[in-house]
Amino acid sequence: MPAINRLSTSDADFRQRLDELLAWESVSDDAVFTTVRDILADVRRRGDAAVLEYTRRFDRREVTEAADLEIPLFRLEQALTAIPAEQRKALETAAARIRRYAERQKMDSWQYTEEDGTMLGQQVTPLDRAGLYVPGGKAAYPSSVLMNAIPAKVAGVEELIMVVPTPGGEVNELVLAAAAVAGVDRVFAVGGAQAVAALAYGTETIPAVDKIVGPGNIYVATAKRMVYGTVGIDMIAGPSEILVVCDGRTDPDWIAVDLFSQAEHDEDAQSILVSPDVQFLDRVEESMERLMAEMPRAQIIRTSLEGRGALIQVRDMDEAVEVANHIAPEHLELSVEDPEAVAARIRHAGAIFMGRYTAEALGDYCAGPNHVLPTSRTARFSSPLGVYDFQKRSSLIHCSAQGASTLGRTASTLARGEGLVAHARSAEYRIK
């Protein structure tokens, strides 16, 4: 059994130990930085030729023409037909639920007219084109394709371009099937920093996009950071985290496996359980010991729990809420009697899973809300990926002659206070 950390809010050094456990800084060392910078510059300058070269080198593929990089849409449909019917149905069910939830997030334009006839408003438009990065190999998750692609299409993005590396030519059929279900418009078998560069700057074959979303390794994350400004990007995600708050009356086996489900992602993932019931913490620890044997990814789970996991004893639910708001977790499971009352007091969390039945895993796949969520305490200031990330707003101002005259006086005073005479004159021309 992993020696999972035990903390109690009554410990004198509680806050310090907790903060040490929570601490996370992604490291992109100088070597990665330099490599990525050079790849970006090269793709920007040489386009397809550079993309082909890096794909031959990094993905060990015999591609000579840029057209070879595109995976045609009929291949996506083939994949969807070829996978087991149960998987296809699961993908389609999940997609329908994700789409229904996303529809609620869609922002609409609005405007209002003032007494003097001046109209003010906000016009909402979708991005023209978005790029979706999908990792290749083991970390290729079809659910991630659905979660990133569907909000973009619901927002009205005209062209959604997916890039996915196919090392050694190996293609993940479930990923292609998910792309078909999600309505991805074009797919290129390119990965790494070269794929990010192609999407940001465009090449002869791969069109430039306005925003790049989706997870990737340290090269991809570094490349996304560097092209930010030329294009938009989503958050750079840290390791996945779950915080379970339990009153001690949920089956400890359920909670143990809920904690496992986060820990199995990778060694740096973080699973924390908070409860006022110390006997319950013991029972969950016993369940973990017993159930560990059944986990194919036991080694990853063990490392994760030992390094970053914790069972935290609190005095009462008030203190549990306080701890949760400090942690600002990506996933917060409220396995308690009255989850509504507790949720209303949560100020920071990516997603809140309420009640004993709402396993976090349901949200990962098919409940409807997005599984791309703010990590590493960034829920203090950021939100789940959503339709709104693929829309943007333009302010609308339409002054009547009277409105411009009235506003012109105020603007002129403030402009002259700031020493900006052209601003003042521009406003004053419109004063009657």
Residues in binding site: 133, 194, 217, 240, 262, 265, 331, 364, 418, 423
Q: How distant, in Å, are the alpha carbons of 7, 8, 17, 218 from that of 12?
A: 10, 9, 10, 37
Q: How far is the CB of 142 from a copy of itself (least distance, A)?
A: 7
Q: How far is the CB of 77 from a copy of itself (least distance, A)?
A: 19
CB closer to a copy of itself out of 145 and 311: 145
Q: How far is the CB of 168 from a copy of itself (least distance, A)?
A: 19
Q: CB nearer to a copy of itself: give 15 or 425.
A: 425
Is 171 or 295 the residue whose CB approaches a copy of itself more closely? 295
Annotated catalytic residue 348: no
**Shortest gap between Cβ of 24 and a copy of itself (angstroms)?**
10
Residue type, 201: Y
* 70 noted as active-site residue: no
CB 36, CB 194: distance < 8 Å: no
Which pairing describes strands 270-275 and 241-246: parallel, antiparallel, or unpaired? parallel
Residue type, 113: T
Neighbours of 231 (CB within 10 A): 20
Inter-CA distances, 391 with 120, 299, 311, 382, Å: 19, 42, 40, 16
The H or E element spanning position 403 is helix 401-417
Amino acid found at 406: T
Element (H, E) at 389: none
If residue 87 lies in a helix (H) or strand (E), which one and from where to where? helix 85-105
Choose between 39 and 332: whose C-beta lies nearer to a copy of itself.
332
Instruction: Point out the catalytic residue in the list 264, 330, 333, 360.
Output: 330
DSSP, collapsed to helix, strand or coil, labels residue 24 as coil
3-state secondary structure of 340: helix
Catalytic residue from among 264, 285, 331, 333: 331
Q: How far is the CB of 88 from a copy of itself (least distance, A)?
A: 10
Give the separation between CA 234 and CA 326, rounded to whole angstroms: 23
355: enclosing H helix or E strand? none
CA-CA distance, 192 to 164, in Å (whole number)?
A: 9
Residue 376: which region, alpha, beta or left (left: phi > 0; alpha: psi -120 to 50)? left
Catalytic residues: 330-331
